[in-house]
Amino acid sequence: MQFLTRLPVPGVNDFSPLDLARSAAWFPFVGLVVGAIVALVAFALDRRSMALAGIVGVLAWVWLTGALHLDGLADLTDALGASHRDPERFLAVLRDPHVGTFGVVSVVLVVMLKAAALAICAGNTLLALPLILAWARLGTLAWGRWLKPLKAGHGEQFAWQISIRWMVFWALLLVGASVAVAPVLCAAPLVIAAWGAWLKARLGGMTGDCLGAGVEVTETALLLLVALTSGAVPGLR
Protein backbone atom coordinates (compact mmCIF):
# COMPACT_ATOMS: atom_id res chain seq x y z
CA MET A 1 0.00 0.00 0.00
CA GLN A 2 2.82 2.36 0.89
CA PHE A 3 4.62 1.77 -2.40
CA LEU A 4 1.63 1.77 -4.78
CA THR A 5 -0.80 4.28 -3.23
CA ARG A 6 -1.25 7.48 -1.28
CA LEU A 7 -3.52 5.77 1.24
CA PRO A 8 -2.63 6.59 4.86
CA VAL A 9 -1.19 3.30 6.06
CA PRO A 10 1.50 2.72 8.71
CA GLY A 11 4.84 3.50 7.12
CA VAL A 12 7.63 0.95 6.71
CA ASN A 13 10.88 2.87 6.91
CA ASP A 14 13.42 0.07 7.29
CA PHE A 15 13.02 -2.53 4.57
CA SER A 16 15.28 -4.27 2.10
CA PRO A 17 14.82 -4.73 -1.66
CA LEU A 18 13.95 -8.35 -0.83
CA ASP A 19 11.02 -7.19 1.32
CA LEU A 20 9.78 -4.97 -1.49
CA ALA A 21 9.98 -7.86 -3.95
CA ARG A 22 8.09 -10.20 -1.61
CA SER A 23 5.35 -7.60 -1.16
CA ALA A 24 4.57 -7.85 -4.89
CA ALA A 25 2.35 -10.86 -4.13
CA TRP A 26 -0.14 -8.40 -2.62
CA PHE A 27 -0.28 -6.03 -5.60
CA PRO A 28 -3.61 -7.43 -6.88
CA PHE A 29 -5.12 -6.88 -3.43
CA VAL A 30 -4.03 -3.25 -3.58
CA GLY A 31 -5.77 -3.04 -6.94
CA LEU A 32 -8.99 -4.34 -5.40
CA VAL A 33 -8.87 -1.68 -2.69
CA VAL A 34 -8.10 1.23 -5.02
CA GLY A 35 -10.70 0.03 -7.52
CA ALA A 36 -13.36 -0.17 -4.81
CA ILE A 37 -12.66 3.41 -3.72
CA VAL A 38 -12.78 4.73 -7.30
CA ALA A 39 -16.03 2.82 -7.90
CA LEU A 40 -17.61 4.41 -4.82
CA VAL A 41 -16.58 7.88 -6.01
CA ALA A 42 -18.06 7.22 -9.46
CA PHE A 43 -21.27 5.83 -7.97
CA ALA A 44 -21.72 8.86 -5.69
CA LEU A 45 -21.71 11.18 -8.74
CA ASP A 46 -23.22 8.92 -11.38
CA ARG A 47 -26.85 9.73 -10.58
CA ARG A 48 -26.16 13.44 -11.00
CA SER A 49 -23.91 13.39 -14.07
CA MET A 50 -22.31 10.48 -15.91
CA ALA A 51 -19.67 12.79 -17.39
CA LEU A 52 -18.80 14.17 -13.96
CA ALA A 53 -18.67 10.64 -12.55
CA GLY A 54 -16.16 9.65 -15.22
CA ILE A 55 -13.94 12.69 -14.79
CA VAL A 56 -13.92 12.80 -10.98
CA GLY A 57 -13.57 9.02 -10.84
CA VAL A 58 -10.38 9.20 -12.90
CA LEU A 59 -9.13 12.12 -10.79
CA ALA A 60 -9.57 9.96 -7.69
CA TRP A 61 -7.87 7.09 -9.54
CA VAL A 62 -4.84 9.23 -10.35
CA TRP A 63 -4.64 10.76 -6.87
CA LEU A 64 -4.87 7.40 -5.08
CA THR A 65 -2.04 5.93 -7.15
CA GLY A 66 0.06 9.09 -7.17
CA ALA A 67 0.20 8.82 -10.99
CA LEU A 68 2.85 6.13 -10.44
CA HIS A 69 1.94 4.06 -13.48
CA LEU A 70 1.17 7.09 -15.64
CA ASP A 71 4.75 8.17 -15.00
CA GLY A 72 5.95 4.80 -16.30
CA LEU A 73 3.77 5.19 -19.39
CA ALA A 74 5.14 8.67 -20.07
CA ASP A 75 8.75 7.55 -19.64
CA LEU A 76 8.29 4.52 -21.88
CA THR A 77 6.58 6.39 -24.72
CA ASP A 78 9.18 9.16 -24.59
CA ALA A 79 11.98 6.59 -24.80
CA LEU A 80 10.31 4.72 -27.65
CA GLY A 81 9.68 7.93 -29.58
CA ALA A 82 13.18 9.31 -29.17
CA SER A 83 15.35 6.19 -29.36
CA HIS A 84 14.72 5.19 -33.00
CA ARG A 85 15.30 1.53 -32.00
CA ASP A 86 18.74 2.30 -30.51
CA PRO A 87 18.89 0.27 -27.24
CA GLU A 88 21.44 2.56 -25.59
CA ARG A 89 19.49 5.67 -26.55
CA PHE A 90 16.29 4.02 -25.29
CA LEU A 91 17.74 3.43 -21.81
CA ALA A 92 19.27 6.92 -21.72
CA VAL A 93 15.93 8.60 -22.48
CA LEU A 94 14.19 6.27 -20.02
CA ARG A 95 16.46 7.55 -17.26
CA ASP A 96 15.78 11.19 -18.12
CA PRO A 97 13.37 12.64 -15.52
CA HIS A 98 11.97 15.20 -17.97
CA VAL A 99 8.71 14.47 -19.80
CA GLY A 100 8.59 15.04 -23.56
CA THR A 101 5.82 15.40 -26.10
CA PHE A 102 5.33 11.66 -26.56
CA GLY A 103 4.92 11.16 -22.83
CA VAL A 104 2.45 14.03 -22.42
CA VAL A 105 0.31 12.87 -25.35
CA SER A 106 0.21 9.26 -24.12
CA VAL A 107 -0.88 10.30 -20.62
CA VAL A 108 -3.57 12.67 -21.94
CA LEU A 109 -4.96 10.00 -24.28
CA VAL A 110 -5.10 7.33 -21.57
CA VAL A 111 -6.78 9.66 -19.07
CA MET A 112 -9.33 10.71 -21.71
CA LEU A 113 -10.10 7.11 -22.62
CA LYS A 114 -10.52 6.11 -18.97
CA ALA A 115 -12.79 9.08 -18.19
CA ALA A 116 -14.96 8.44 -21.27
CA ALA A 117 -15.27 4.71 -20.58
CA LEU A 118 -16.05 5.27 -16.90
CA ALA A 119 -18.70 7.84 -17.84
CA ILE A 120 -20.37 5.45 -20.28
CA CYS A 121 -20.97 2.75 -17.72
CA ALA A 122 -20.13 4.26 -14.34
CA GLY A 123 -23.04 2.58 -12.57
CA ASN A 124 -22.60 -0.79 -14.24
CA THR A 125 -18.82 -0.76 -13.69
CA LEU A 126 -19.01 -0.69 -9.90
CA LEU A 127 -18.30 -4.37 -9.40
CA ALA A 128 -16.00 -4.71 -12.40
CA LEU A 129 -13.65 -1.83 -11.58
CA PRO A 130 -11.85 -3.44 -8.60
CA LEU A 131 -11.28 -6.54 -10.73
CA ILE A 132 -9.85 -4.43 -13.57
CA LEU A 133 -7.27 -2.87 -11.26
CA ALA A 134 -6.44 -6.22 -9.68
CA TRP A 135 -5.92 -7.89 -13.08
CA ALA A 136 -3.60 -5.06 -14.17
CA ARG A 137 -1.45 -5.46 -11.06
CA LEU A 138 -1.34 -9.21 -11.48
CA GLY A 139 0.15 -8.40 -14.87
CA THR A 140 3.19 -6.85 -13.19
CA LEU A 141 3.88 -10.19 -11.50
CA ALA A 142 3.56 -12.06 -14.79
CA TRP A 143 5.76 -9.65 -16.73
CA GLY A 144 8.35 -9.51 -13.95
CA ARG A 145 8.55 -13.30 -13.88
CA TRP A 146 8.47 -13.78 -17.66
CA LEU A 147 10.77 -11.03 -18.96
CA LYS A 148 14.39 -10.32 -18.18
CA PRO A 149 15.22 -6.91 -16.66
CA LEU A 150 16.91 -4.45 -19.02
CA LYS A 151 18.48 -2.49 -16.17
CA ALA A 152 18.72 -2.37 -12.41
CA GLY A 153 15.67 -0.99 -10.63
CA HIS A 154 12.28 -1.96 -9.24
CA GLY A 155 11.55 -4.17 -12.23
CA GLU A 156 14.68 -6.20 -11.51
CA GLN A 157 13.89 -6.36 -7.78
CA PHE A 158 10.38 -7.71 -8.32
CA ALA A 159 11.71 -10.49 -10.53
CA TRP A 160 13.66 -11.93 -7.60
CA GLN A 161 10.87 -13.25 -5.40
CA ILE A 162 7.67 -13.50 -7.47
CA SER A 163 5.94 -16.70 -6.37
CA ILE A 164 4.20 -18.85 -8.98
CA ARG A 165 1.80 -20.07 -6.28
CA TRP A 166 0.65 -16.52 -5.54
CA MET A 167 0.21 -15.82 -9.23
CA VAL A 168 -1.92 -18.96 -9.67
CA PHE A 169 -3.95 -18.08 -6.56
CA TRP A 170 -4.75 -14.58 -7.81
CA ALA A 171 -5.41 -15.75 -11.36
CA LEU A 172 -7.94 -18.36 -10.21
CA LEU A 173 -9.59 -15.93 -7.80
CA LEU A 174 -9.91 -13.20 -10.43
CA VAL A 175 -11.16 -15.58 -13.12
CA GLY A 176 -13.87 -16.82 -10.76
CA ALA A 177 -14.85 -13.27 -9.78
CA SER A 178 -14.81 -12.14 -13.41
CA VAL A 179 -17.14 -14.95 -14.47
CA ALA A 180 -19.58 -13.89 -11.76
CA VAL A 181 -19.35 -10.12 -12.24
CA ALA A 182 -18.18 -9.30 -15.77
CA PRO A 183 -17.33 -12.27 -18.00
CA VAL A 184 -15.63 -10.01 -20.54
CA LEU A 185 -12.81 -9.59 -18.00
CA CYS A 186 -11.85 -13.22 -18.63
CA ALA A 187 -9.99 -11.69 -21.59
CA ALA A 188 -7.56 -10.08 -19.11
CA PRO A 189 -4.95 -12.89 -19.38
CA LEU A 190 -4.88 -12.32 -23.15
CA VAL A 191 -4.28 -8.58 -22.66
CA ILE A 192 -1.54 -9.29 -20.12
CA ALA A 193 0.09 -11.86 -22.43
CA ALA A 194 -0.12 -9.48 -25.40
CA TRP A 195 1.69 -6.71 -23.51
CA GLY A 196 4.39 -9.12 -22.35
CA ALA A 197 4.84 -10.46 -25.88
CA TRP A 198 5.12 -6.95 -27.25
CA LEU A 199 7.77 -5.99 -24.67
CA LYS A 200 9.75 -9.13 -25.46
CA ALA A 201 9.58 -8.57 -29.23
CA ARG A 202 10.15 -4.80 -29.16
CA LEU A 203 12.57 -4.37 -26.25
CA GLY A 204 13.77 -7.84 -25.35
CA GLY A 205 12.84 -7.39 -21.69
CA MET A 206 11.32 -5.01 -19.19
CA THR A 207 12.01 -2.22 -16.71
CA GLY A 208 9.94 -0.78 -13.88
CA ASP A 209 8.59 1.81 -16.31
CA CYS A 210 7.50 -0.97 -18.67
CA LEU A 211 5.59 -2.59 -15.82
CA GLY A 212 3.91 0.69 -14.93
CA ALA A 213 3.00 1.36 -18.56
CA GLY A 214 1.60 -2.16 -18.78
CA VAL A 215 -0.71 -1.45 -15.83
CA GLU A 216 -2.09 1.61 -17.63
CA VAL A 217 -2.51 -0.24 -20.92
CA THR A 218 -4.22 -3.19 -19.24
CA GLU A 219 -6.53 -0.99 -17.16
CA THR A 220 -7.54 1.06 -20.17
CA ALA A 221 -8.13 -1.95 -22.43
CA LEU A 222 -10.23 -3.79 -19.84
CA LEU A 223 -12.24 -0.70 -18.92
CA LEU A 224 -13.01 -0.10 -22.59
CA LEU A 225 -14.09 -3.73 -22.96
CA VAL A 226 -16.50 -3.36 -20.04
CA ALA A 227 -17.79 -0.04 -21.41
CA LEU A 228 -18.43 -1.53 -24.84
CA THR A 229 -20.14 -4.61 -23.38
CA SER A 230 -21.77 -3.02 -20.34
CA GLY A 231 -24.79 -5.26 -20.72
CA ALA A 232 -22.56 -8.13 -19.57
CA VAL A 233 -22.27 -6.53 -16.14
CA PRO A 234 -25.22 -6.77 -13.74
CA GLY A 235 -27.00 -3.40 -13.94
CA LEU A 236 -27.25 -1.18 -10.91
CA ARG A 237 -29.18 1.70 -12.46
Domain ranges of the chain: 23-232
pLDDT of residue 153: 56
Nearest 5°: the CA angle 52, 69, 163 is 125
**pLDDT at residue 154 above 60?**
no
Average pLDDT across the chain, whole number: 87
Beta-bridge mates of residue 149:
206
- Long-range Cβ contacts of 234-237 (<8 Å, 24+ apart): 234/124, 234/127, 234/181, 235/123, 235/124, 236/43, 236/123, 236/124, 236/126, 237/123, 237/124
Q: How many of the other CB atoms lie within 10 Å of CB of 106?
A: 23
| Pick from 42-51, 107-116, 157-166: least confident | 157-166
Q: What is the pLDDT of residues 181-231, one digit of tens each?
A: 999 999 999 999 999 999 999 988 998 899 999 999 999 999 999 998 875
pTM for the complete prediction? 0.90
Instruction: For residues 20-24, give the mean pLDDT.
Output: 79
Cβ-proximal residues to 48 (8 Å cutoff; 6+ apart), any chain: none
Cβ-proximal residues to 65 (8 Å cutoff; 6+ apart), any chain: 4, 5, 6, 34
* Length of the chain counted residue by residue: 237
pLDDT of residue 149: 86
